[in-house]
Every structure is written in C-alpha cells, then in structure tokens.
Copies of this chain bind each other. A is one copy, B any other.
C-alpha cells in the first residue's frame, strides 16, 4: 500500500472508490503531558491514539501515520526509544504503518505532531453536520475517567495506569466507528476529546440544531479500587476520554454494545438551537460548553 519512508514524500495507495481522511494533532510537553507524570510509552501511545480516534469519528480505516518529533538536546535516547515503543505498539494493533515524518531539535520541550491518514468509501464519511431534530444521541464507554486522572495529578498525588486506563491508554474506537458506518446507523459523529459539553456543541453548531441530554443517563467512569463514579462535572466537561459521541435517526436500532464497547442513549437532538441538561427530577438547565484545558484544575 505504501512506498513510504526514504523519499521526499510517502506514496499511499487508496482503494478505488474511497476518499482520503487526514487528521493532525499536537502533543506538547507541559500542555498534553508531563515527563514527571507520564511514562514515555504512554506519551507515545496517547500521541497516536488522538489521531486514530479522529479517524474512528469519521467511520474510517486508518492506514498510515506520520510523526514529527522535536526533542531537546539533553533528552535521553532511552526516552525517545520508549516513546516510539508506545507509539509503534499501538500502530501495530491497528495495522497502521509509520510512513514518514520529521525530526528536529527543540529548544526546551518535547513536541510531537502526529498525522494519521486513512480512507473511507466515497461520500460515506460520518460528518458532524448531519444531525437532525429527533435524532437520538449516543455515547460509547464511560465519561470523565481521563479528567479524573489529571485531577489527581493536579492535587499532587500519583494516578496509576491501572486505575485510569482511559487516561493512560485510551482505546480509539475505530471498530465501533466502522460498524456505525457499515450498518448506516450514525447520522453524525465526533470523538470526545474536548469533553461532552464542548463536543456536543460542535455537532449542534455544525448541524444547526440543539440537544437535550438526560443527566441520569450519562455513563460516568468508575475509578479506583472502590469503583467510585466520577462527579457529574467530570463526565460532562472532562476531556480526552476519546469515546465516540454520535446521533442516529429515531427509528434506527442501535445495539447497546458494539465491538465489546457499551453504547448508551443519553438524549435527543432538538430543533431549538440550545443544549439543555435535564436533571433527575426533570428540571432543565442550559449545558454550556466549558472547553477543555488539559492542566486546568
């Protein structure tokens, strides 16, 4: 499929009748990770996971990755080796080839820019802009787990990979995205990188619609040995869970489990262009996108 590394460009062969998907994401030390908090393998893993998740959110098939990596002169080679191990390990899980990139010296921090190229049958990419009033709103997995890990770090404690799998090893929902596309279930889709409130607002804005979400329906991550549910705020506004948020026309039968991942109905698209959260007693309140700043308390 690929001529690849060692020339001016990589040459990718795309199957006939398909379109090309391209996504690019920064991973910056001090913004997206800290060397004191995140083992290098985890940084490499999450770097690629972000790109794969974008391909998943289009219902696409990832094909090749390109890594631009700038590191400070004094960074140990072992750090880079372990970073690459984490990245390439995830790449091999998805049959993705590292087909190129660039390296450079960075004055101070580690900086990685990951590009993932994939493909999707022509006109079948699942866009953000196709939600319609009456569509049901679904989310995969559980929300708020990744933000809870950062909260713990910010409080000066150590968050362990076994307690926070979605933070340390987010699993891009590529299979789920493809199933939703091949079964023509999803009308619109986005991946949850900025948090439910912000990413739902993206769908609503691109589609020119509003939404009503049921507080009681939101699947909250359970964390630690006691499996405590995260706060509602974490589940509503926490970023980097890399789950999928999608809509489906009212009549569609959406399984409650796809490719081993829970799928939960959390609300409905409305004609009125505002996003409303309905509490357990039925009281509506506006759900404002809070954005996601990685290291904000």
Contact = CB atoms under 8 A, between A and B. Distances in A.
B8 A54 contact: yes
Contact of A58 (B11, B29, B57): B11
A22 B12 contact: yes
B19 A122 contact: no
Contact of A22 (B19, B64, B125, B129): B64
B68 A7 contact: no
Interface string A66-79: 10101000000000
Interface in A1-19: 3, 6-14, 16, 19
A128 to B, nearest CB: 5
A60 B118 CA distance: 20
A7 B66 contact: no
Interface of A is mostly: strand
Given A30-B107, A107-B109, A22 B58 contact: no
Contact of A13 (B9, B99, B122): B122
Nearest to A54: B8
Interface residues of A, number: 60
A29 B128 CA distance: 35
A101 B68 CA distance: 13
Nearest to A63: B20
Nearest to A109: B107
Interface string A164-202: 000000000000000000000000011100000000000
A81 interface: no
A206 interface: yes
Given A8-B54, A113-B113, A117-B20, A31 B105 contact: yes
Contacts of A60: 9
17 contacts: A3-B125, A6-B128, A7-B206, A8-B58, A8-B189, A8-B191, A10-B22, A13-B122, A22-B66, A23-B100, A24-B66, A24-B115, A26-B102, A28-B105, A70-B111, A106-B109, A113-B113
Interface of A: 3, 6-14, 16, 19-26, 28-32, 53-55, 57-58, 60, 64, 66, 68, 70, 99-109, 111, 113, 115, 117-118, 120, 122, 125, 127-129, 189-191, 206
